[in-house]
Amino acid sequence: MNPPGINGHLNGIICINKPAGFTSFDVIAKMRGILRLKRLGHAGTLDPMATGVLPVFAGRATKACGILPDNDKVYEAGFELGLVSDTYDISGNITASGSYAVIGKQDIITALDKYEGEIMQKPPMYSAVQVNGRRLYDLARQGIEIERESRRVTVYGIELLSYNPELGRGRLEISCSKGTYVRSVIHDMGQDLGCGAVMTDLIRTKACGFSLEDCTSLEKLQELASANIPADRYTYPIEKVFSYLPKLVLNEKQEKMYRNGRRLDMNRIDFNVPDAGKVRVCGADGHFIGTAVIINELAELRADKNFDVK
C-alpha cells in the first residue's frame, strides 16, 4: 500500500527528462522521496551519462511496464572519431587512438548504412546485461571480459546530423528497437572506418510514444511537493500507451461481468473490428479499465491486464 500523502492515489505515467549523472534507478529513488510513493517503475533504462525521456509509471500503471506495446526509441548522439574506449563512450578509459584525417562525411554515411535494418549486435562489457546471473559491468570493473552472445535488434534509421572533419566530431539521430546500444553502433562504425570512435553524449528524444515535449524535471516535481500540490498536472493516463489499440466499450451489465473475471460472448458486444486480437476495454461511462484479448475462433473476450479498480 502506498504511504499517505498528496500523491497517495496517483496512477499514471510521469515522463522525466533524466539529468546526466543519474541512473534510471536514481530517478526512481528520488521520485519516491518527492512523491511519497513506493509503487514506481520505469520503462527503458538509460545510462548515467545519457539524458532525455524516461517514462516513470506510478501506482497501478506499474503493471504496464512489462507489456508496453511501443518499446521503440529515438536518440540523438554525439561522437568523436580517432578514439577507442573500454566503455565505448568518452567517459571510459581510452585504449587506442587513430587518425581520422582522410575520413569525410560520405565515408561516415556509407559506414552507417551497414547498421540500418535488422542487425546482430554484441552488447558492450560495460552494460547491465546479465550473463550467468552477473551484470556485465560488474565483471568489467574487475577487469574481466567474457564472450557475449550477439542479440538481434532493429535500427529503423540512422541520420548523420552534422560532422566537423577538422575535429572529427559529429552528431547522429538513431531510431531503434528496445535493447539497441547506440554506443555500440558508434564503436562498430569507428572500427569499420579504421580510426575508432566513441560516443560523447546521448539524448533520448522519444520512448514508448512520449517525446521530450512530454517531459518534466525532478526539480519541477520537487517544487510541487514543496507547495503541497499533487503531481497530477504532469501525469498522463495509463490509457495513453495503449491508445493504438481498438477501443471496446462495455455496457453496465457486461462491465460488471468483466470485472468479476467472466469471459464475455463477443456476439453480444457492439464491436465491429474484424480480427482485432488485442483491444483496450472501457466501461459504460467510457473509463479505461484495461486490455483484453479477443479469441476470434471462440468469439470470446478474455481479460489481459486491468488497471482500473472500482
- CA pair distance 254, 13, nearest whole angstrom: 28
Domains annotated on the chain, with CATH = 12-66+212-237 (3.30.2350.10), 73-207 (3.30.2350.10), 245-306 (2.30.130.10)
User: Which carries the bigger pLDDT value, residue 60 or residue 173?
Assistant: 173
- CA pair distance 268, 280, nearest whole angstrom: 17
Using an 8 Å Cβ cutoff, are 170 and 162 in contact?
yes
C-alpha cell at 4: 499517505
What's the rounded mean pLDDT across residues 97-117?
Answer: 96
pLDDT for 70 equals 67
- The DSSP-derived string for 106-137 is HHHHHHHHTTSEEEEEPPPSSSS-EETTEEHH
What's the rounded mean pLDDT across residues 171-189?
Answer: 95
The question of whether 47 is a catalytic residue gets the answer yes
pLDDT at 3 over 60: no
Query: What pTM was computed for the model?
Result: 0.88
Catalytic residue among 26, 47, 89, 192: 47
Neighbours of 152 (CB within 10 A): 10
pLDDT for 108 equals 98
pLDDT for 310 equals 62
Give the CA dihedral 137, 141, 142, 144, nearest 10 degrees: 50
